[in-house]
Amino acid sequence: MKNIYEVKSKNIFKSFVVISLFFLFSSVVIYVITNALGTYWGYEPGGFGYMGVALIFSGFSTLISYYFSDRIVLSISNASPANRKEHFNFYTSVENLCLSQGLPMPKLYVISDSAPNAFATGRNYEHSVICATTGLLDKLNRTELEGVLAHEITHIKNYDMLLMSVVSVMVGTIALLGDWLLRASWFGRRGSSDDDNNQMGSLIMIFGLVFALLAPIVSQLIQLAISRRREFMADAGSVEITRQPQGLISALQKLEMDREPLEAANKATAHLYIVNPFKGGVKGAVGWFAGLFNTHPPIEERIKALKEME
């Protein structure tokens, strides 16, 4: 038995640690790789220019998908606006939960897909969207649905969409920089040929290459760790709103039993869903390693964390 407020502050602390770790890691990697690039091209300190270029490249697409996230959802197959009469429980539950949080009402959409799932998106409170599949609305009762929707509303409330966008811009930047350095070194070293700090230069190059090889993977792993941490936070937030862990627990149990993958999901939006839309997965020692690559923590672990709050 744990106090919900304790869980919340612990979650915030852990999340803070992972996120700061990520930004620390990113800055070190970007520093080293840009320096190596700078050394390679012959002017030592000028590497940060590449960072700017990489940031623009990787930021552009993410920025667009972040800014238009609420409209992109419309282009997802079969997402139609929900209305109060037809989707009474969905509509009124969100209405009530937002009332309790003092949030504006998000736009609601329904995807006709029998795989039960739901996600939230939108760049700010005014443009937030919650989408649920017909499978979810049919299979869950009102209490369970409230648990799931409160989870999504917590994502909106915590600006998780913004956080994950920033993080994925950084991951993209690192991947691009690493890629450039690896490609550049493929053609051999041209730049500065006969200076005194040649040794220093090659040391920077070696470090740069090691980082260029490993950093993209590591940064993605941290990105996924952040995503999983935010899921735990959203679960705890859901309990804080509804005060009924049982609702979300039984909803998660139902969602776990359903092995049907969601057709409308893709890798870019996977972290937004209540449960991993791709399903599948392995257990045991291999599962632990595979777990590092998941956007969502295993459902058993989430249920365990929720049971502690009962």
Partner 1 sequence: MNWTLFLILVLVVVLFYVVSTYNFFVSSKARIKASIQEIGNQLKRQAELIPNLISSAKGYLKHEKGIFDKLTDARKTISRAIESGDIQKMSDAGGKLSSLLPDLKVVVESNPEIKGAEVVDNLMNELRDTSDKVMYARRLLIDLSADYNVKRATFPSNLIASIFGFEEMQGLKTPEGKIEVKESEMETPKVDL
Please list the active-site residues.
152
**Which one, 142 or 304, has the nearer CB to partner 1?**
142
- The Cα-based distances of 190 to 30, 76, 138 in angstroms read 22, 48, 64
One-letter amino acid at 92 equals T
Give the nearer residue to partner 1 in terms of CB position, either 80 or 92: 92
To the nearest whole angstrom, how small is the minimum distance from the Cβ of residue 88 to partner 1?
Answer: 6
User: What per-residue string of b and e applies to 273-308 under the rule 16 or more CB within 10 Å gives b?
Assistant: bbbbbbeeeeeeeeeeeebeebbbbbbeebbebbee
Distance CA 261, CA 24 (A): 36
- Looking at the Cβ atoms of 71 and 84, the one nearer to partner 1 is 84
Find the shortest distance in angstroms from Cβ 26 to partner 1. 26
Q: How far is the CB of 137 from partner 1 (least distance, A)?
A: 14
Shortest distance, position 242 Cβ to partner 1, whole Å: 9
- CA 73, chain centre distance (Å): 17
Among the residues of the chain, which ranges form H helices?
A: 4-41, 48-67, 69-75, 88-101, 134-139, 142-157, 160-186, 198-242, 245-257, 284-291, 299-307
For partner 1, give the closer residue by CB, 47 or 106: 106
Kindly report the length of the chain. Answer: 310
Our CB check for partner 1 shows the closer of 89 and 220 to be 89
Residue numbers of the site for partner 1 (CB under 8 A)? Answer: 88-89, 92, 95-97, 99-102, 142
Contact (Cβ atoms closer than 8 angstroms) between residue 212 and residue 177 = yes
Nearer to partner 1, 101 or 250 (CB): 101
**Minimum CB separation from partner 1 for residue 291, in Å?**
34
105 vs 120: CA distance, rounded Å? 12
**In angstroms, what is the minimal distance from the CB of 92 to partner 1?**
4
Q: Which residues lie across from 81 on neighbouring strands?
A: 109
Q: What is the C-alpha to C-alpha distance for residues 272 and 47, in angstroms, rounded to an integer?
A: 35
Selection from 136, 156, 175, 111 nearest residue 255 by Cα: 136
